[in-house]
Amino acid sequence: MYPGEYPVDDVTPHKHQWALYDALTDCLPGLFVDDAPTGAGKTLAWLAPVVAEGLQTVAIYPTNALIEDQVRNINEKLDDVDGGDDVRLLAVTSETLQNEHAEQFPSANSNGERLRKLLTVAFNSQETVILLTNPDIFVLLRREIYRERIDAINRFEVAVIDEFHRATRKERNTMLFLLDEMYETNEAICRLKHLVFLSATPEKELERQFEEAMAAPYYRVSELEWRQTPHPAVGTDEESVIAFAPDELPPDYRAVLPPVDLTITPAPTFETATEILNSEDVLHDRLKNGRTVMMIDGVHEVDRVYHSLSQSGLEGTVRIDGFHRDNVREKINLFETLVSNSAVEVGIDFDTEQILFSGHDAASFFQRLGRLRTRSDRSTAYGYVPPYLFSTLESMADRYTGQWVDRATFEELVSSEYVDSSTPESFDWRYSAVEAYDHIEKQAEGAPSDDQPTIRETGWKRIERHFFHNHENGLTEADLKRLHDIAGSRLLNTLQTYRGDSIQTVVYNSQSQTLQTYSIPYLLRYGNVSFHSKTEFLALIPEHLHHHVSRLEPYSSGYCLYQGGYKNEEDTTEKGQSTGRLVTYKATGELYSLLSNVSRDIRTPKVCTGLEIETEPSVRGLDLLKEDLSETEVLCYPLEGHVSQIRNQYSLDPFKFIYPLYYTESNAAVAFSHDALYLHCHVQDRIEAESNTIDEVLDF
């Protein structure tokens, strides 16, 4: 029996909550992955121990919308957690820095100065500080990219990283390297000793990074049991481990997954809506079985399914997606059928009797399946997966006919069959190592001369651990410096941020009356949109949103009015799926020179200006957008060949976007931002396989 009570009112804890509570309250240093499914109380699993021990904590969430949801969620939980009255909960996003924190510190002239003052005041109080922020701001803080030096980042003892399995390879590499650096730094300088990842079960490569690249000892919380006797004190000669007691589980143990009846249907990525609507009678029969949440891909797919169900008279049908996050709480309380995309994968609690979802990769499959909440009755799920996976699952169903499959077995079987062609391994040493090298050099240059050799030596060892584990050619530090010098400052600047740049515009959604930024390529293809001058745009939107335009416009090009999805009955596939407008980019200026004057063998991604776009049919105000884009710097990688040829040649993931590029000499395509880097790695890997010499690779 556990020697004590869980410090939360009226909560019977799950096993993973007890295990993480033990680890953090015993001050056991390490990297902990809590892979309990959605709805199993992962937030409370870390919140209860950090409040109990008064551990200063930074919690990193992938989206600002999730931060907003978690502020509400955590505030509600603090009322029931022992010591919750002594917590200072801070939410920091670009929006809060521009609004409430700007009002709190009116003399501050920049976001960095506001953030420094905010954390200084918080840490000078006698409260436990819990900072909720996004990865972009965390990276800016750690890399001192703000104009202010903000040493308070080193005072956090716990870092909680939510939904880490959803991060791209570049994002994972950036976050893990910086956290590892903080963990290894002398405790007198940086106090971070507990890294808590709230994630789906790590796939093999991510688990390798946890085990081999990170200095912190790695623990899977699902494999730990809570203690029967106290741990030895950290720093003694005894080994600090969490003991198993499999035959003595306390009577208050409770499971976190319901039994699920799962039906699988094949559907290519971005064609789930087509598959669903081709069998509308079957869909309507399924929807009669109770509250249903549908999670599919792309706003255009949500748009098709939602309008089809609404027009059929199905009552209680609502939607939540990137353009329709208004009245979320009201929608969650009232829906009978919820149509959505990744917007409800995390951060939104709902109760449902069945789910219908697309799973284009293993992470999406298990994330969405995990949204079923624990209930006494069996639940129902309908999954739409890539056709190649369907045949494998068919044979598995035959093998287990009439039997229940446990979660671990099912995850192992399904995960092993997904094909991951999203990012090549060479990205680690071609780009992430260069990014890390640049980071270390900047640290060394800003340090006293006596400290510089140590910073470079420990930094190089960390780079080797993280990025050269599987590189047979054996790059040296001199090789890496050469790659760094070739990259140049403009490309290095795009690597230093977490997500990189994107081609986006300020958008006013006339339906939900909300303002945001959104992807220009997506809007041009699938949106009923028009572009306007700033003066005209301000006249079209409510006055209370005017100050938000000034906040968003430094990160975007143009001003867009969105009035729903683009519909053209003549513009459909044989299956009835809208293909959207034809969007073509033009190779002009630097982009044209890159294609014309640099051979594919040595061509690298480049930050270019002068990007041009054409659409068929045309979009009102496109000339205004083109004018704004002409001065915008965009990381581009152009390639000869038709889009479909390039996709097939390099087995590109459908979520890695490349676009047709008008080029007078031949067919061509272009990728932007991090997609440009990934595509370049695919091309160079092919060249390297053919040449098989390190000298030619380094001359890229």
Annotate 644-667 with DSSP letters as a single string: HHHHHHHT--TTS--EEEE-TTS-
Q: According to the model, what pLDDT value does residue 244 have?
A: 29
Query: Who contacts 42 (Cβ-Cβ below 8 Å, separation ≥6)?
Result: 16, 34, 36, 162, 198
Q: According to the model, what pLDDT value does residue 243 have?
A: 32
Report whether pLDDT(700) > 70.
no
d(CA 47, CA 53): 10
Look up residue 233 and give its two tokens.
């004190």
**Tens-digit pLDDT profile for residues 622-653:** 999 999 988 888 999 999 999 999 988 888 87
Report whether pLDDT(12) > 90.
no
> 149 pLDDT band (50/70/90 cuts)?
confident
Q: According to the model, what pLDDT value does residue 165 have?
A: 83
| Average pLDDT of the residues in 560-567 | 90
Q: Counting Cβ atoms within 10 Å, is residue 365 exposed (0-12), middle (13-18) or buried (19+)?
A: buried
Three-state SS for 174?
helix
**Tens-digit pLDDT profile for residues 123-138:** 999 899 999 999 999 9
**Tens-digit pLDDT profile for residues 496-512:** 999 888 889 999 999 88
The DSSP output letter for 545 is: G
Q: Which residue has the higher pLDDT, 437 or 322?
A: 437
Q: According to the model, what pLDDT value does residue 394 have?
A: 81
Q: Report the percent of the chain where pLDDT is more than 70.
A: 89
| Average pLDDT of the residues in 431-440 | 96
Q: Please give the sequence-ordered ranges of beta strands (E in DSSP) within 514-601, or none if there are none.
A: 514-519, 527-532, 559-565, 582-586
Report whether pLDDT(231) > 50.
no
Look at residues 340, 356, 350 and name the one whose alpha carbon lies nearest to residue 306.
Answer: 340
Q: According to the model, what pLDDT value does residue 3 have?
A: 46
**Tens-digit pLDDT profile for residues 283-303:** 999 998 899 999 998 888 998
| Average pLDDT of the residues in 654-680 | 89
**Tens-digit pLDDT profile for residues 341-396:** 888 877 677 888 899 999 888 878 888 887 886 555 678 999 999 888 888 888 87
d(CA 17, CA 294): 29
Report whether pLDDT(218) > 70.
yes
Mean pLDDT estimate for the chain: 85
Query: Who contacts 96 (Cβ-Cβ below 8 Å, separation ≥6)?
Result: none
Q: According to the model, what pLDDT value does residue 199 have?
A: 82
d(CA 175, CA 154): 15
For residues 267 and 28, the answer to whether their CB atoms sit within 8 Å is: no
Q: Report the percent of the chain where pLDDT is more than 90.
A: 49
The DSSP output letter for 369 is: H
| Average pLDDT of the residues in 541-553 | 89
**Tens-digit pLDDT profile for residues 436-491:** 999 999 999 988 999 999 999 999 999 999 998 765 556 788 889 998 988 888 89
**Tens-digit pLDDT profile for residues 167-199:** 899 999 999 999 999 999 999 999 999 999 998
Report whether pLDDT(253) > 50.
no
d(CA 191, CA 214): 16
Domains, the chain, ranges and CATH? 15-223 (3.40.50.300), 260-390 (3.40.50.300), 427-496 (no CATH), 504-698 (no CATH)
Rounded to a whole number of angstroms, the CA Rg of the chain reads: 26
For residues 525 and 614, the answer to whether their CB atoms sit within 8 Å is: no
Report whether pLDDT(317) > 90.
yes
Report whether pLDDT(203) > 70.
yes
Look up residue 338 and give its two tokens.
């919820």
> 698 pLDDT band (50/70/90 cuts)?
low
Report whether pLDDT(251) > 70.
no
d(CA 364, CA 362): 6
**Tens-digit pLDDT profile for residues 574-601:** 444 557 899 999 988 889 999 999 999 9
Q: According to the model, what pLDDT value does residue 693 have?
A: 53
Look up residue 347 and give its two tokens.
């951060």
For residues 587 and 615, the answer to whether their CB atoms sit within 8 Å is: no
Q: According to the model, what pLDDT value does residue 400 have?
A: 79
Report whether pLDDT(242) > 50.
no
The structure's pTM equals 0.86
Q: Which residue has the higher pLDDT, 239 or 335?
A: 335
Amino acid at 165: H
d(CA 594, CA 670): 11
d(CA 273, CA 446): 53
